[in-house]
Amino acid sequence: MEHIYKKGTKGRPTLLMLHGTGGTEQDLLGLAEYIDPEAGVLSVRGNVSENGMPRFFKRLAEGVFDLEDLAFRTEELKKFLDDASEKYEFDRQNIIAIGYSNGANIAGSLIFHYENALKSAILHHPMVPIRDKKLPELNGVHVLITAGDNDPICPPEETRDLEHLLSSAGAKTEVYWHHNGHQLTQDEASEAKQWYEKHFK
């Protein structure tokens, strides 16, 4: 997968940065630097193109995911993480995903499909990636969800359902709400930084 890797200070987590639809691996580098300037950074570009817009998996319509492709792309990303940790010699067990929108959805899908795929995650404007799926054991996984209660793409029920599903599987889940729409706000980034520092510094 197309990506950018920056080595971190020894012992710090690797931040897996996952952009939204139409983004690239460049988009969230500033956010990574803001959250933890000493962390390693692995910023990846989605392998699917929707009319030229990079995404991490196909969709059939707005908010309707192609579940077969989702499973395939989730496995592909998991393998990429396994391989990248060997190539760049970072700790595979210490990856924290930070995803926005479509990137948050593939991060959620990694958590829904595989035990120990991610140590923890910050999900900005995620949806439930797949329903009616038994989740793995998520004890010890911390998840921060940030959401807008006027987000037309991720309605508030999606956020509440996702929080419930993750918490029921054992993840320690927190939600930060704002009153805006789908955009990623400075407030959310600052909330994410505080949450990260509370758990990982």
Residues annotated as catalytic are 101, 151, 182
Task: Find the binder of ligand MLT among 43, 85, 94, 102 (CB under 6 A).
Answer: 102
Assess 101 for contact with ligand MLT (CB under 6 A). yes
Site string for ligand MLT, 116-145 (x = CB under 6 A): -----------x------------------
Q: Please say which residue, 100 or 195, places its beta carbon nearer to ligand MLT.
A: 100
What is the three-class DSSP state of 166?
Answer: helix
Assess 21 for contact with ligand MLT (CB under 6 A). yes
Stretch of 70-78, 99-107, 170-178, 188-196 lying at the interface with ligand MLT (CB under 6 A): 99-107
What is the three-class DSSP state of 116?
Answer: coil
Assess 58 for contact with ligand MLT (CB under 6 A). no
Assess 152 for contact with ligand MLT (CB under 6 A). no
Long-range contacts of 55-60 (CB under 8 A, 24+ apart): 55/21, 55/22, 55/102, 56/18, 56/102, 56/103, 56/105, 56/106, 57/102, 57/105, 57/106, 57/109
Q: What is the 3-state secondary structure (H, E, C) of 46-72?
A: CCEEECCEEECCCEEECCEECHHHHHH
Assess 105 for contact with ligand MLT (CB under 6 A). yes
Assess 159 for contact with ligand MLT (CB under 6 A). no
How far is it, in rounded angstroms, from Cα 196 to Cα 144?
Answer: 9
Task: Find the binder of ligand MLT among 29, 135, 153, 175 (CB under 6 A).
Answer: 153
In the numeric block, which tokens belong to residue 192? 């994410």
Q: Please say which residue, 59 or 199, places its beta carbon nearer to ligand MLT.
A: 59
**Distance of CA 78 to CAs 9, 51, 73, 81, 196, Å?**
23, 25, 8, 5, 22
Q: Please say which residue, 62 or 132, places its beta carbon nearer to ligand MLT.
A: 62
Residue numbers at the binding site for ligand MLT (CB under 6 A): 20-21, 59, 62-63, 101-102, 105, 127, 153
